[in-house]
Amino acid sequence: MRNKKSLLLLGSTGFLGSSILNLLKSEPLPDFNILISQSSPFNESIHIALLNPDFTGDGTFDATNLASVLNTELTVINCASSRNSKNEELSEEANYIFPKNVLDTLLDVNGIRITWVQIETFWQYSKGSTPDESYVLWKNRFGHLLTESSFHGNLLVERLVLPHLIGPFDNPFRFLPRLFSKILKGEGLQVEAPEEIFCLADVRDVAQYLVSLLSNSHAKQDTHSALFPFIEIQLSEIVDRFIKISGHRSRIEFVETFKNSNPALNLDEQPPLLDPDQLPLHDLDSTLSDIVRWLSGLQHVDNLS
């Protein structure tokens, strides 16, 4: 195994993590062994699964014997996170404790070189209000820990800052998929803060970029922190474009409020933007079209309330 590299994907069942795994099924990395983190209850050992070529589990490893399956070159993509603002314990566990335990375990392994790709959100770079302060708090705290740990000679930290991700196979109960599903059902809707700006990127584009970093060293940027390209668009226009693309009509009432939960225009110390001309990005209409097909195929979409 030592002639190969290792990829450890944390948060492989989430929106971005699952998109990366789906991409790897069609664009395999023959030079890499793929490992994923398994969800575990609080205060239990870290469990890592080694995947077969068909992406089924090929045995699990805890922290005590993880070193036996790691190769000299290790890349970690940390997609683990939780934006459950109603559960402080879960937010701390997913955004700080779990990745910290993984990092501590890896730094204790001799003879490996670690490239840690940290997935961040532009909310961490804003002084404005955020939808989930607990999420930002613990993401920032782990980010500071990474900075301190980067003095370790075997650790290289790269940060990718993401806007709001959309695309098919999202959690259908999140805000935009939930809104879109109501439009598909032709329901009357009251949409608050229609002038609020959203910064959108297709999750599949982000997954493609991350896989390209692994398969093509020339795809790497000169900076160790970068902001993924995005489209700025008002919520009212998102709704209008989805209605036009889907062909479904809903009774929409836009309600002006003082709500300002999205700090998209208040970025402080913004990382440099990746060059969009070097990335094959979906346009918003194609992304919305794919979301229409995905939501239309969900058997339980009519049960969303």
Q: How much is the pTM?
A: 0.91
Among 122, 126, 123, 118, CA closest to 146: 118
Q: What residues have CB less than 8 Å from 31, skipping those under 6 apart? A: 4, 5
- Is residue 252 within 8 A of residue 209, CB to CB? The reply is no
pLDDT at residue 126, as a whole number:
79
Distance CA(157)–CA(255), nearest Å, equals: 43
Q: Name the helix (H) or strand (E) containing 304.
A: none
Domains of the chain, with CATH numbers? 1-162 (3.40.50.720), 166-199+230-305 (3.90.25.10)
Residue 153's pLDDT is: 83
* Listed residue (70, 96, 94, 68) closest to 82, CA to CA: 94
Cα–Cα distance measured from residue 11 to residue 31, given in angstroms and rounded to the nearest whole number: 22
Residue 156 CB coordination number (10 Å): 14
Amino acid letter for position 278: Q
pLDDT of residue 6: 95
**Contact (Cβ atoms closer than 8 angstroms) between residue 202 and residue 242:** no
Nearest to 287 by CA among 200, 173, 185: 200
Give the pair of three-digit tokens for residue 240. Answer: 């209008």
CA separation for the pair 43, 290 (Å, rounded): 39
**How far apart, in whole angstroms, are the C-alpha atoms of residue 299 and residue 305?**
14
Give the pLDDT of residue 54: 83
DSSP 40-96: --TT---EEEEEPTTS-EEEEEETTTGGGG--SEEEEEE------TT-HHHHHIIII
Considering Cα of 274, then 277, then 280, then 286, what sign does the dihedral take?
positive
Distance between CA atoms of residues 105 and 107, nearest Å: 6
278 SS3 class: helix
- Spell out, as residue ranges, where the chain has pLDDT lower than 70: 1-3, 39-45, 84-85, 128-129, 217-223, 258-268, 299-305
Q: 151, 144, 149: which is closest to 124 by C-alpha?
A: 144
SS3 track for 208-226: HHHHHHHHCHHHCCCCCEE
Tell the burial category of 4 from Cβ atoms under 10 Å away from its Cβ (0-12, 13-18, 19+).
middle
Q: Cβ–Cβ contacts within 10 Å for residue 231, how many?
A: 18
